[in-house]
Amino acid sequence: MKRLLAITTAMALCTSGAMASDSVQAEIDNPDQWVLQTGDYANQRYSKLDQINKDNVGDLQVAWTFSTGVLRGHEGSPIVIGDTMYLHTPFPNIVYALDLANDGKIKWKYEPKQDPDVIPVMCCDTVNRGVAYADGKIFLHQADTTIVALDADSGEVIWSVANGDPSKGETNTATVLPVNDKIIVGISGGEFGVRGSVTAYDMNTGEQVWRAYSMGPDSDTLMDPENTTHLGQPVGADSGTATWEGDQWMIGGGTTWGWYSYDPELNLVYYGTGNPSTWNPAQRPGDNRWSMTIMARDADTGMAKWVYQMTPHDEWDYDGINEMILTEQEIDGEERKLLTHFDRNGLGYTLDRVSGELLVAEKYDPAVNWTTGVDMDPASDTYGRPAVVAQYSTEQNGEDVNSTGICPAALGSKDQQPAAYSPETELFYVPTNHVCMDYEPFRVSYTAGQPYVGATLAMYPAPDSHGGMGNFIAWDNINGEIKWSIPEQFSVWSGALATAGDIVFYGTLEGYLKAVSAETGEELYRFKTPSGIIGNVMTYSQNGKQYVGILSGVGGWAGIGLAAGLTNPNDGLGAVGGYAALSDYTALGGQLTVFTLPD
């Protein structure tokens, strides 16, 4: 009943009549469907379906498969509305509508025409994290930043709009978030000196409603010097330029290519911003606000209510774009609205999502060493700031100096691959990387549309550990503790799914779909799909039967960094290349595999 109350309250707050959020919420409330990439507005990736459960998941079988026809990294997942599945591909971003009532027959196919020049501007493979549904429309945000609204029944284009300019390095990999009568979208290109922004378009016309930049004057960042707060204090005037030197903020990064969540009661949208550019910290003195920041913005106006910068003056490329998972939990005897975020920097944050108060900041991988922790004392001058360990500070060590043994590596203790949350166990299930790096920054110059990086990296499995490059963990966000941890040979680059069947699903880079006990992490099922998995597990029900779907298709950052294996400089020359290469386990592919229980 709690959820119903929430909807009623949200409706009472809305003034402009019927809102798509309500209809989307109604679709989400039907657990037979998978309406958004994130499962729901809260990004919990939790399903109430329990036909497949911890007692029978070992009997799981492949029900059907579908080849996407594209051989690139397949991130995201299909969505299901009614009897139709909508399935996207990496570049060229084909969308298929599959008729589940008719053996998956293709109802329609949409293939955009995009200039292939966008391909090399996309950092790290041509991935796309999928389509979204609202009010009879399918929304696709293409690689070239074109946003298209398709008629869900026919695949016809209702409207389309260009959000950015690929010739300047602006591209897209993310899904969109339908909220109220708007579509909220982000942008990629932090390695090309793009200034990140979030934009809202009218869901019915494609007209731009608001745009909020990650840095710049208040009129660009949509911040109120008095009423927008950072850890409870007003941000002050032009906070988006005040911590930059000169005009560097104009090519300042802080891109917004991750996930978006939404609280209908508060009417706030939550997301994180990426790294400041360049990767050479000496070229951008100051805190570089508001890169690396958790943002809470009004869905209708874009105005920032509160912000929290996790990694001021980034020195390691720890993008802050990972998902914000919204939960209602008891903390110190009080029921609170929480936001939990597993940052690339290796810290798991729990905040009050109403006020932006920082409650917990703890390492979710014991290997993390660049910081000794976050100052949690509100009276302190450095409240909310991570204490940087000098040895691992690429800023303090300086340009042209190689800082070694930094954990995590630039790809973070976790990248975009989303975690799941089970309200039953109150645990978060987190796919992680267990990789460290050497990092040497140096001077670079900016050319529009060209890479703007400025550092050399070498990455290797976390030393003095199990030798693998990943873990799949269960996390307690109230106490800031790992409950259990499953070592994995490769980084876990697949989004997790938790269900009411007391199980959690995730994929591995070798291509396994795995099911584990939500309580203990004990492995209950595995099946090797045709290619490595960087997609996210989803579930739906059709004709009273529960299905679990996963995209295979190795690629993304994982396919680039791990294809040839990683080397550990600490092992000496003899062992170089001794670490397993992903290419020994899997090859390119592009396939959906759907599982169910035998009849």
Partner 1 sequence: MNKKLPITLAALLIAGAAFAQDMALHDGPPKFGPDDPEVKAAYEEDGRWYTADDLPTFNIEDDGTIDWMTYSGFRRYHSECHVCHGPDGEGSSYAPKIKFSAVNMDYYDFYAVVADGRKKVDAAENSVMPAFGDNPNVMCYLQDIYVYLLARGTDALPRGRPKARVDKSDVIREDENNCLGT
Active site residues: 317
Please, are residues 28 and 2 in contact by the beta-carbon 8 Å criterion?
no
**Cis (ω within 30 of 0) for the bond into 244?**
no
In the set 85, 87, 98, 123, which binds partner 1 (CB under 8 A)?
123
Q: Among 307, 504, 554, 594, which residue sits at the site for partner 1 (rule: CB under 8 A)?
A: 554
- Which of 445, 543 has the CB closer to partner 1? 445
Q: Is 315 in the site for partner 1 (CB under 8 A)?
A: no
3-class SS of residue 517: strand
d(CA 529, CA 589): 10
Q: Which is nearer to partner 1, 263 or 317 (CB)?
A: 317
Radius of gyration (C-alpha) of the chain in whole angstroms = 22
Q: Which helix (H) or strand (E) holds 561?
A: helix 556-561
Asked if 462 interacts with partner 1 (CB under 8 A), we say no
Query: What one-character-per-residue DSSP string does 273-313 give?
Result: ---BS-S-GGGS-S--TTTTEEEEEETTT--EEEEEESSSS
- Is residue 268 within 8 A of residue 296, CB to CB? The reply is yes
* Residue numbers 185-204 binding partner 1 by CB under 8 A: 191
Angle of helix 2-13 relative to helix 20-28, nearest 10 degrees?
170
Decide: is 125 part of the binding site for partner 1 (CB under 8 A). Answer: yes
Quick check: 117 binds partner 1 (CB under 8 A)? yes
Query: Is residue 471 within 8 Å of residue 364, measured between CB atoms?
Result: no
Q: Cα(574)–Cα(74) distance, rounded to whole angstroms?
A: 35
DSSP class of residue 196 equals P
- Residue 588 as a binder of partner 1 (CB under 8 A): the answer is yes
> Cβ closer to partner 1: 355 or 583?
583
Residue 123 CB, nearest approach to partner 1 (Å): 5
Using the minimum distance from each CB to partner 1, give the nearer residue, 91 or 259: 91
**CB nearer partner 1, residue 160 or residue 583:** 583
* Nearest distance in Å: CB 116, partner 1: 5
In the bound state with partner 1, the residue whose beta carbon lies nearer, of 121 and 174, is 121
Is residue 119 near partner 1 by the rule CB under 8 A?
Answer: yes
**Binding test (CB under 8 A) with partner 1, winner from 196, 501, 559, 590:** 559
Return the residue of 231, 459, 486, 551 that touches partner 1, per CB under 8 A: 459
Distance CA 214, CA 253 (A): 8
564 binds partner 1 per the rule CB under 8 A: yes
**What is the phi/psi pair of residue 239, to 5°?**
-65, -20
C-beta of 227: minimal distance to partner 1 in Å?
40
- Among 566, 580, 592, 594, contact with partner 1 (rule: CB under 8 A): 566
Q: Are 140 and 152 in contact (CB under 8 A)?
A: no
Selected from 135, 438, 476, 519, the binder of partner 1 by CB under 8 A is 438
Per-residue contact flags (x/-) with partner 1 for residues 401 to 420, judged by CB under 8 A? -x------------------
The three-state secondary structure class of 539 is strand
Buried residues in 124-137 as b, exposed as e (16+ CB within 10 A):
bbbbbbbbbbbbeb
319 near partner 1, judged by CB under 8 A: no
Identify the residue among 25, 38, 126, 350 touching partner 1 (CB under 8 A): 126
Q: How far is the CB of 551 from partner 1 (least distance, A)?
A: 15
> Which of 14, 303, 560, 597: binder of partner 1 (CB under 8 A)?
560
Number of amino acids touching partner 1 (CB under 8 A): 49
What is the DSSP annotation of 346-360? SEEEEEETTT--EEE
Residue owning tokens 């399935």: 87
Determine which residue in the list 8, 67, 111, 116 makes contact with partner 1, applying CB under 8 A: 116
Smallest distance from the beta carbon of 279 to partner 1, in angstroms? 8
Among 75-83, 256-264, 449-457, 482-490, which window interacts with partner 1 (CB under 8 A)?
449-457
Q: Is 267 exposed, middle or buried (0-12, 13-18, 19+ CB in 10 A)?
A: buried
Could you say which residues in the range 342-401 bind partner 1, by CB under 8 A? none
What is the rounded CA–CA span in Å between residue 26 and residue 33? 11
Q: Is 67 in the site for partner 1 (CB under 8 A)?
A: no
In 3D, which of 147, 286, 309, 123 has the Cα closest to residue 228?
A: 309
Give whichever of 118 and 231 is closer to partner 1, judged by the CB atom. Answer: 118
**By C-alpha distance, which of 33, 164, 35, 161 is closest to 100?**
33
Q: Which amino acid is at 435?
A: V
15 Cβ partners below 8 Å, 6+ apart? none
- Closest contact distance (angstroms) between CB of 191 and partner 1 is 7
User: Is the Cβ of residue 120 or residue 333 nearer to partner 1 in the bound state?
Assistant: 120
Tell me whether residue 348 or residue 555 sits nearer to partner 1 (CB atom). 555
Q: List the x/- string, 489-528, binding to partner 1 by CB under 8 A.
A: ----------------------------------------
Q: What is the DSSP letter of 368?
A: -
Q: Of 6-14, 42-50, 436-444, 461-469, which part binds partner 1 (CB under 8 A)?
A: 436-444
Nearby residues of 37 by Cβ (< 8 Å), 6 or more positions away = 76, 77, 79, 129, 130, 131, 132, 175, 259, 536
CB of 119 to partner 1, least distance (A): 4
- Please state whether the peptide bond connecting residue 378 to the residue before it is cis, i.e. omega within 30 degrees of 0: no
Q: Which residues of this chain interact with partner 1, rule CB under 8 A?
A: 70-73, 91-92, 116-117, 119-121, 123-126, 191, 279, 402, 438, 440, 442, 444-445, 447, 450-459, 554-555, 559-561, 563-567, 569, 573, 576-577, 588
